[in-house]
Structures are given as C-alpha cells and as structure tokens.
Structure 1
C-alpha cells in the first residue's frame, strides 16, 4: 500500500533518529500533472507524470547534511538516514543552523480558508486538448499571424508535507490549471513573437482560451516592423506584464541572506525611505486561491501579513531562522524549503500600492519615451543597485504609441529608480505579485 507524504515524513524521521541524528526535518512532495500541446489543429505532445520526492535534513550537534530521493521503499529510507548522518558528521559546524524552538511553531491553522485545492474533478486530457485548440485557432485567426508556435494546457495536483523532531507536522495539497499560447507574425529577419497565458488554482477562474489566443496573436502583430529607439534620457513605462521585476529587485535586496552577507544595496537603509511616501509593499500569505499563499513556512513557523515597505519606509528584512540568527533577529516566517535544498528566505504574495491613473493616462502624460513590454538579460550589481537590461516595446511620441521598438538597453540605479516610480491602476489582483504598470522618469536609453 502506498504511504502518504505524512507517513513517509515520519518514517524518515524515525529512521534518522535511530541512525544517530540529534535533530531531523523531513519533506515529502507527491504530485501528478498532465500537459497537452497542439500544433496546426492536431495533438503535438501529451505528457502525464506522477511521482513522489523525499528530502531529509539531519543535525549532529551544529553539523547538518541534506539528502533527497524519489524512491520511497523502506530500505531506501534507511539508507537515506544512514547516509545523511554520516555526511553530517563530516560537515563543518554552522552555529546558525538548527530547528525552530517548539515555542516558535504554528499551533493551528484553517486550510479551508486558503482555498489551495480546487474541489472540481481533474480535467480529462480531451478537455485540455480542446482548450489548447481553441487558443491556437483564436491566435491563428488574427490577421498578420503566420504561425502559432505553441498552444498548451495543463493541470497539476501536488501534496506537500513537512515534519520535524521539534514536534512540527503539517501539510497541504495544491491544484493548478494553466493555458498559454505563443503567436508568430512576419517572416525571416522581420519575424516577431509574443504570448499570453493564465494560471490559476481553480479551473473556474481561468480566462477563456479564445481570449488568450487572440491576445497572443494581437501582441505578436503589434510588434512587426520594430525599430531601434533614439539614444538619450527618457521616461520609461514598465508594462504591468514585467513591472513586478522591479519590485523583485527590491525584495532581493531586503532578503535576509543578502543582508547577512553584506551584499545588498539596501543593507544600510532599514527605517529609511526607499519608495515614494504614498507607496507600500505588503506581503500577504493569506489570500485565497493564490499560489504564494500558505499557513506556515518551510520551518513550521506561522506566516504573517506584514508591510515590508510602509508609506515608503523600509520596515524589515525577509528572514528564515538561519539568517535571523546571524542578524540577531527573529524569523519573519519566510523560510522556503525545497526537496534538495536547505531553507532560505523567500517572499510570499506581494502587493504594491496602486495609483489613481490608468496606463493610458501615464502614456499620455509621458510625452516622448519608451513603453517596455518585454526584457531580456540583465546586469544588476547587488551591492550598488546599478541596473541595465535589454528591452523591447513601443516608442511613445506626443503621448501616443508611435511604433514598436527592439534591441535597446535601459539603465539606471535601482535606488534612484524606485524613488521615482509612478504606479498605474492596472494590476491584476489574482497574481501572487500584484504590481501595476510603473512609470520612471529620466532613465538612460541606448538604441541608435
């Protein structure tokens, strides 16, 4: 009989204790997924996968080791435990490693409130294929589309359980349903492509396949006959599709691991203004049906709603237990744990305060500048915040979109850039990172 993730975690923990571990934490993830891709009206690829992965971390004093496996046989669990303990005995001491004190652990939670699992039955492969075909057909119907590169639909269901020798044991199950389409317009050197897609916890929340295909096609056609923009200093509007990357750089700079290493351009700015005074960055792991929601972190601590930036002022770091101990602080309940990795600080759901203008209002007000809709590559200095990225999008003249542009570079310094952001009101509330389009005045643009 197949053991549950919870049973496997406790079996691993028992084996590690018998092998000589002073402390143990375990993780088991069991999942199944189905993905369908179509091309030219026919099935191109179908895949179904099922499996279970196990992670075991042991402590011998202040020495730790981690092993993982996808084999759940009893003899493998014993071998994992013995190997992990032997490895830990050879590892260097880490004064900051260790499990949470029992008093820090979450005591109870209501999983139903998070709505992480769609109660609807798993969709049949034929239903996934029909969605993918509908997206492909809608994309192909757009005038100017020469081919649909890909259209696909998928479904996944995953159960995760964590258990540790400090008394913690907890888990949850998630479902996901996604649909995407990539359209190609033009040919040869003038070929352009763009995409659209959606991913939700609940099937009923997923956007219509025809809308996704249509938008992918329209976006690809809009990019035809792109030029290089003029080099100079201009306002740059980061489209809502990619604007969350800017807030991502801020989140990376306040990550406790970076702060503990001293390798962050914000390491000396706690309690200081880092955004305009009317803007806040809120982390909320309790939003229903959102991928970043969870009741506890990877070390069994309760997650919490917190304002990372409050009215423009940086209020704290994102911490797991190890980084908190290094800094002499308390964990913020932000430990993320992978099967084959030790816990590390990570953010859950993030929301930046929205503005009171639409994206179109910001375009009208920016005069001449660049609307960025996609970016490639990056050169970002984590110590200084110097920022440089390849970009493409649309050139704006006299407050109106004039023509598509590509092969340009935008540059600045994140500290200065974030202090000048002007948000629109077009953020998608169902994403894990809710960030609207962001206008930044005076960025350096390298084109022709």
Structure 2
C-alpha cells in the first residue's frame, strides 16, 4: 500500500500531461491523476457472502484552446510518448468543439497557494494510514450482526457489511497550481428482521468515519438495528389528514440535501430550481443557519482544496433564515456573473459544483420537547421513493415511523405518504438540538407543522 501513500509518481504524471498539452497547442490545461483501493465484505448468519477488493488508477486531462474545451481520460501510464499522444488528441478534439464562453480554468487569483495545501491537509486530517485487513472488516460485520440478533424480537439477520476506501488524487494546472491529498473511509452496517410471515419488518443501522477509531461500537450499532426493526412490527394504518411531522436525523438530512440540489449553480444556470429567484431572500425561519464546511476535522466531505485548485473555505449558505450563496464552480459562476466559492468537485476530467460537509445548525429544543409539543402527528423514521420535483419544489414521499398522540410516541405506522412543497416546508422548519456528524450531510430532528399525510 506504500505506493498509494506516495503521491510523487501521480504528481509527475499530472504535471507531464499538462506540459504536453501546452506543448501541443493548448492555451491552458489541467490534469487529475488518481488512484483508489477499496475492500468490502458481507455476511449473513455469521457466514461470509461477499469479499471484494478493487484497485483503480486513472488520468484525466482537460484542455482549452480559443474558447473551446475537450477532455480525455485513460488508465494510468507514465510513458512520455503515450502522454504526449493523449495531449495531442485532446487538443485536436478541442479544435473541433463548439465554443463555450463559460468553460475555463479557475482564475490564478482564486487558486490556493501551493505551500498552504500541506498545512490544510494536516489540519483536516482526511485519511487514516492504518488499513484494515479482510479479517478485521469481517469481525466488525460479525459483531454488528450478533448485536442485532441478540435483541428480543429479532427473528433473523438481514445481513451485515463492512468496507474500507483509500484514495489519492493529484491536481495540476497550467496556471501553476499543484496539490495532492489522500482520503479514507471506513464503515459497517447491520440489517435486522423482526416478526414472522407477512408481519416481518426490517431496519438497519450503520457507522461511517474517516478514521477507524471514530467508528461506533459494532455491537451497539447492531443492537440499534434490532431495536429499530422490532419497533416497527405490526404497524397500524392512519387516516388521511393534516398532521405535524417530525423527521428524525437519519431522514431529516434528506431535506437539507434537497436544498443543496436547489441551490446548486448548475440548476440555477439551467433555470431548473424552485429557488432560482430567492437569492438574498428569507426562505427559512429566523434563526436557521445552514453551513458548508470543507475544513471540518475528519469530516466525511472534507478536502483541502476544490476540484479546480481553489481554496474552499466554510460558507454560510443560509444565515438567520436568508439564502446567501449558490454552490458554484468556476464555469457556473461565470455563467451567473458571479465568482466561484470553491465548490468544484471532479470524479474525472470535468468539474461540477457540489457541497462538502453540509450542516443544519441545531435548535434549542430537545427532540423530546418537539414530540411533547405535538398533539396529533407523525414521527418519521424511514422515507421511501424519490418523489421530489426540483423545478417546482413539490414533495411527496412514502414514509414509515410512529404516531404521536398527546405528546408521546405511540404505535408504529407504515404505508403513508407525506406531501407538501419544499418552499413551504423550509419556511416552517423547527430544528431540535440532537445534531450528530455521521454523514457528509447532517441535520438534527426537524419538526414541520401542518403537512399532508395520506393514509387509508
């Protein structure tokens, strides 16, 4: 694994490819050299069912000439002749491409200084050098499954998995930026099944982290999966009507994800967002803030610089209820007459805007306070389907959870649909204080009053 931890070879490849592109006639160019190694295991009833290992190397080049752009990618090679031919081909493709007035490298003035990159990498601590063995991954999965099976009422295992990812990437641009960093991810999950016959219900729990030492205890995660599954057995139906709805954190983060999609620069530039005319206006209640922070230490979405070499700093996307920012890379910023805010991401040659560690800041009430304040409502623990229209904001999703009666959780419910419009829902959000950083998008429990719930 030492060759993956050493980025010097990929650094040479990326720089050589950029130099070859300029020599071939490109006005400007950037290149990404990446390598990733991943492993995953799965088991059921203590018996291994899956054991996969993959390695991937890639090179991607993007060139610009006379306002035209082209990109090309390949498996990694260090042969100078092959790199030169790739660059020549990319330049030839660009000469035949239509002009794109917005495609460009990030401006020199926006690029992160190379000597700061190393300090930023150390500050965010984005990778764990300890690589788990297959046996260690299987042990995590086994302990999680055992934890689930020990819960009274769990009748069988739905399986358990564990996985690890380690990747390294180098970005080099003809404007002089060179940056490299490693990222790691480790996770495991367990699924439990409760009940018998036609009354079986399932649920899951998981833990994910950048560093192995930050994972939750597998037995605890398994028990949580079992408790969630047994709590869903014998669900009741409910009448269609208007109810107060509380989303637990695991599903509340999807609402913040819908916001991220709606304020993505690509959606704004294409006029496909229900929020396209709301910049600078209040869309959430006073006191609500939503941040995007790529510098979060050991954050699952953290990175030292963006996919174009821009210094990606924390952003207050929503502050005191007001929408302050779109999520932008250089191209979408140019199209909108704005300046990039360092949110370019790339999985190949071409960048696109996306968030990093997106967080709805917690409120002052506990989850129990929110529940106590609901006379007749629903506590949502699971969402089904993808019934969200990004153009209109219309929202309709299948759901399951628990009925709230007179301020207390009551019977489990299923086969319901919750509906509304995201503009109206955002305007009525009341967050609890139970925020945990478990994913790249995080939110506490959220209360939204007066939603339509379709039942029987």
TM over 0.5: yes
Q: State how far apart, in whole Å, the 2-side matches of 1:28 and 1:192 are.
A: 45
Other-structure match for 1:400: 408
Other-structure match for 2:436: 428
Which one of the candidate residues 115, 119, 124 is aligned to 2:125?
A: 115
Other-structure match for 2:322: 313
User: What RMSD, in angstroms, separates the aligned Cα atoms of the two structures?
Assistant: 1.8
Q: State how far apart, in whole Å, the 2-side matches of 1:271 and 1:141 are.
A: 52
Which one of the candidate residues 296, 300, 305 is aligned to 2:309?
A: 300
Q: State how far apart, in whole Å, the 1-side matches of 2:380 and 2:9 are.
A: 47
8 Å contact from structure 2 (residues 361, 435) kept in 1: no
Change (3 A) 1:38 1:64: same
After superposition, where does 1:251-262 map in structure 2 within 5 Å? Answer: 251-262=260-271
Other-structure match for 1:359: 367
Give the secondary structure class of the aligned counterpart of 1:406.
Answer: strand
Is residue 175 of structure 1 aligned with residue 184 of structure 2?
yes
Which one of the candidate residues 352, 358, 366 is aligned to 1:350?
A: 358
Other-structure match for 1:214: 223
Q: State how far apart, in whole Å, the 2-side matches of 1:371 and 1:77 are.
A: 57
1:79 CA drift (Å): 4.2
Other-structure match for 1:84: 90
Greater shift in the superposed pair: 37-46 or 209-218? 37-46
- The TM-score, its normalising length taken from structure 2, stands at 0.94
Other-structure match for 1:30: 35
After superposition, where does 1:406-425 map in structure 2 within 5 Å? Answer: 406-425=414-433
- The TM-score, its normalising length taken from structure 1, stands at 0.95
Which one of the candidate residues 213, 216, 236 is aligned to 1:204?
A: 213
Q: State how far apart, in whole Å, the 2-side matches of 1:10 and 1:247 are.
A: 38
1:425 CA drift (Å): 0.9
1:231 CA drift (Å): 0.3
1:380 CA drift (Å): 2.2
8 Å contact from structure 2 (residues 60, 72) kept in 1: yes
Which one of the candidate residues 2, 5, 28 is aligned to 2:10?
A: 5
Q: State how far apart, in whole Å, the 2-side matches of 1:73 and 1:306 are.
A: 38
1:11 CA drift (Å): 2.4
Q: State how far apart, in whole Å, the 1-side matches of 2:324 and 2:144 are.
A: 44
Is residue 97 of structure 1 aligned with residue 107 of structure 2?
no
Is residue 446 of structure 1 aligned with residue 451 of structure 2?
no
Is residue 54 of structure 1 aligned with residue 59 of structure 2?
yes
1:16 CA drift (Å): 2.4
Q: State how far apart, in whole Å, the 2-side matches of 1:91 and 1:376 are.
A: 42
Other-structure match for 1:129: 138
Q: State how far apart, in whole Å, the 2-side matches of 1:435 and 1:410 are.
A: 19
Give the secondary structure class of the aligned counterpart of 1:163.
Answer: strand
After superposition, where does 1:325-340 map in structure 2 within 5 Å? Answer: 325-339=334-348
1:71 CA drift (Å): 4.0
1:190 CA drift (Å): 2.0
Give the secondary structure class of the aligned counterpart of 1:444.
Answer: strand
Show CA shifts across 1:169-228 (max 9, x none). Answer: 101011221111111122343221111001111111110110111111111111111233
Greater shift in the superposed pair: 72-81 or 86-95? 72-81
Greater shift in the superposed pair: 135-144 or 234-243? 135-144
Q: State how far apart, in whole Å, the 1-side matches of 2:76 and 2:315 are.
A: 39
Show CA shifts across 1:351-378 (max 9, x none). Answer: 2121122212211211111111111112
Give the secondary structure class of the aligned counterpart of 2:273.
Answer: coil
Is residue 68 of structure 1 aligned with residue 73 of structure 2?
yes
Change (3 A) 1:381 1:44: closer
Q: State how far apart, in whole Å, the 2-side matches of 1:443 and 1:353 are.
A: 22
Q: State how far apart, in whole Å, the 2-side matches of 1:94 and 1:335 are.
A: 18
Q: State how far apart, in whole Å, the 1-side matches of 2:58 and 2:238 are.
A: 49
Q: Which runs of 5+ in 2 are unaligned?
A: none
Which one of the candidate residues 239, 244, 249 is aligned to 1:230?
A: 239
Between Structure 1 and Structure 2, how many residues are aligned? 446
1:72 CA drift (Å): 2.3
Greater shift in the superposed pair: 416-425 or 72-81? 72-81
8 Å contact from structure 2 (residues 70, 94) kept in 1: yes
Change (3 A) 1:178 1:271: same
Other-structure match for 2:295: 286
Q: State how far apart, in whole Å, the 2-side matches of 1:36 and 1:47 are.
A: 6
Which one of the candidate residues 146, 158, 163 is aligned to 2:155?
A: 146
Show CA shifts across 1:311-331 (max 9, x none). Answer: 111112111111111111111
Other-structure match for 1:376: 384
1:45 CA drift (Å): 1.8
